[in-house]
Amino acid sequence: MEINASIVKDLRERTGAPMMDCKKALQEANGDIEKAVDYLREKGMKASLKKASRTAKEGIIGSYVHPGSKIGVMVEVNCETDFVARTEEFNDLAKNLAMHVAAANPLCVTREDVVSETVEKEKEVYRKQALLSGKPEKIIDKIVEGKMKKFYSEVCLLEQSYVRAPELTVKELLDSKIGKIGENIVIRRFSRFQLGEAIE
């Protein structure tokens, strides 16, 4: 099937993938742009899995101060080489992640970072809610599991919907960047400051 330049350009703008990858994805998807997006996303995830074991010690501290100077964020984003850390794309990623943290206010980077006491407390609340609503005992665990998944998607940075492209999680955004840039990328930590939040 003949793929014209305009649809390749559209796909490139949507995904940020290289031109030749976009063309191949559209050929694989018979010109269907949505299928091509899925194809590129899967390809990016496979590539990122291979790179995820590589050490990421370089990087930058991205920062963002919200207009009005009431909220500020710093986020450490690591990559493998200083060369990549200095690229405009990597710097934009770090800044956009800082903006995301300002807007979405996660508690931590991954679900493994959530304090175990908090996890147990949440599970207990959801279990009591399910029991009080009269749900059968045999499905309580499934209900609690579903509620915990939603809880993690609200408080863990990597599991949140990315504010600039809500159809992606932050993890999926990171995977696509790893596939495109060709290096492992890790969000190491972040700090979010909100004016007056620590004052009783």
Homologous superfamily of the 5-51 domain (CATH): Ubiquitin-associated (UBA) domain (1.10.8.10)
Per-residue buried b or exposed e for 36-51, using 16+ beta carbons within 10 Å of the residue's own CB: bbebbbebbeebbeeb
pLDDT at 52: 52
**Per-residue pLDDT, 63:** 96
In the CATH scheme, what is the code of domain 115-154? 1.10.286
Mind listing the pLDDT tens digit of every residue in the chain (200 residues)?
667 888 888 877 776 677 778 888 888 888 888 888 887 777 665 554 455 556 778 999 999 999 999 999 999 999 999 999 999 999 999 999 999 999 999 999 999 999 999 999 999 999 888 888 888 888 888 999 999 999 999 999 999 999 999 999 999 999 889 888 888 899 999 999 999 876 55
| pLDDT on residue 48 | 47
**What pLDDT is attached to residue 199?**
58
Nearest to 10, CA basis, from 29, 30, 28, 37: 37
Q: Report CA-CA distances (Å) from 83 to 6, 48, 113, 131, 149.
A: 32, 19, 30, 55, 37
Task: Identify the pLDDT of residue 79.
Answer: 94
Q: What is the reported pLDDT for 45?
A: 52
The full set of domain ranges for the chain reads 5-51, 58-110+156-194, 115-154
Q: Domain 58-110+156-194: which topology?
A: Tetrahydropterin Synthase; Chain A (3.30.479)
pLDDT given for residue 21 in this prediction: 80
Specify the pLDDT at position 20: 77
* Tokens 């992640």 sit on residue: 97
